Structure 1
Amino acid sequence: MKPTFDFGDRVRVVRNVRNDGSYPGKRRGELLLKQGAIGSVRDIGSFLQDQIIYRVHFINEGKTIGCREQELIAASEPWLPAQFELRQKVRTRMSIDRVNSLSLARGTVGQVVKILPDYQQQRVFYHIDFSGLYLRMPEAALVELEGYADGAKEGKGKKRVKESGDGELLYA
C-alpha cells in the first residue's frame, strides 16, 4: 500500500464528500465539500490497514477532512464536474429506444451506480440502474428526480435516442 500523494501535494475531490459521522458538529450525511474543491495534503494514514486516508486542508472551505485515495486526484489533472452523485435517483429526459428493441419511457426512474468522465469527449457518462437494467447514459439524457415535472422543464417535444452496439446513446 503505497500512497499516491505526499505531504503538501495539492489535490481535488472528485465527488461530493458527506459526513460519515466522524466530522464534529455536522449531522451524518451532511454535505462537507462539493466536488472540485482543492486542498493540500497535511497527513497520510490508513484505515483498517487496507485503505489510505489523507488528511486534506481545504483552505477556501475552512475545513480539514479525511479523504480516501479514490476520492482524490492531483489538482493539476484534467477534471470534469458531474451533475449527479453516486446513488442519486434520476429520470430519463426523453424516451430511449435500444437496438435490441428494449425501450424506456421518458421519465423512467433510475439510480446512478457509477460516474464515468470522458476527458477526450469532454462529457460525463453514468452507469444507471433502471430496476436491474444497467445502461451507460450521457449526462444530457438525464434529469434530477426532484426537479422533474412532466413537460415543465423539457418542453413537449419528443426527442428520441438509439443505442449503438457499444452502449453509446445516439441522438436521432
Structure 2
Amino acid sequence: MKPEYDYGEVVRVVRNIRDDGTFPGKQRGDLIVRKGSTGYVRDVGVFLQDQLIYQVHFIDEDLIVGCRSQELIPADEPWIESEFEFGDWIRAANHLAIKGEVIAEAGSEGQVMSVRRDLDPILYEVLFRDRMLLVPASAICWPPETEPAEEVAC
C-alpha cells in the first residue's frame, strides 16, 4: 500500500465526517468536519492491515481527524459539492428501470457507493439490494423522518 497523500499535503474532505464512536468528547453520529473543509496531512497509519488512515489537521476547526483515502482529494483539485455522498442511505424518488424492467420501486432504500464528480451532471452509483445503478440526483432523495401513511414522500 502506497499512500496517495504525503506529510504536509493540503487535502479536502469530500463528505461530512461524523463520529464513529472513537472521537474524544463527541457522541456517535456527531458532525466532526463538514464536507469541503481543508486540512494538512500530519501522519499516515494503517487500519486492519489493508486501509490507510490519514491523520489530517483541520486548522479552521482546530481538530485532528483520521480520514480514509476515499474521503479525501487534493485541495487544489476541482471539487463540486454534491447533495449525496459515499455511504448515504437514500430512497428512489421514482421507479428506476433498465430496458423496461423495474430494478428499484419508488421509495426503495439504497446506499450511495460512489459519487461520479467527473461526469456532468454529477451521477451517483447506488446499490439497491443487489443491483448497482448509476443515477442523477433527481432520481434519488433523502428518506423521510417518518414513514408516510399512504404514499412515498421524498
Query: What's the TM-score, normalizing by structure 1?
Result: 0.72
Distance in structure 1 (CA, Å) of the matches to 2:5 and 2:16: 20
Residue correspondence of structure 1 range 14-53 to structure 2 within 5 A: 14-53=14-53
Conservation of the 8 A alpha-carbon contact between 2:41 and 2:54: yes
- In structure 1, C-alpha distance between the alignment counterparts of 2:52 and 2:87, rounded to whole Å: 23
Which residues of structure 2 form unaligned runs of 5+? none
Unaligned runs of 5+ in 1: 154-172
Q: Distance in 1 between matches of 2:104 and 2:46?
A: 46
Counterpart Cα distance in 1 of 2:66 and 2:7: 14
Give, in angstroms, the shift of residue 152 of structure 1.
Answer: 7.4
- RMSD value over aligned CA atoms? 2.7
In the comparison of the two structures, how many residue pairs are matched?
A: 151
Maintained 8 Å contact 1:54/1:68? yes
Does structure 2 retain, via aligned residues, the 8 Å contact 1:82–1:115? Answer: no
Distance 1:85 1:146 in 2: 17
TM-score (norm 2): 0.79
CA contact (8 A) 2:58 2:64 kept: yes
Bigger radius of gyration among the two: 1
1:97 CA displacement: 4.4
| Within-5 A mapping of 1:144-155 | 144-146=142-144
Equivalent residues of 2:90, 2:143 under 8 A apart: yes
Match of 1:137 in 2: 135
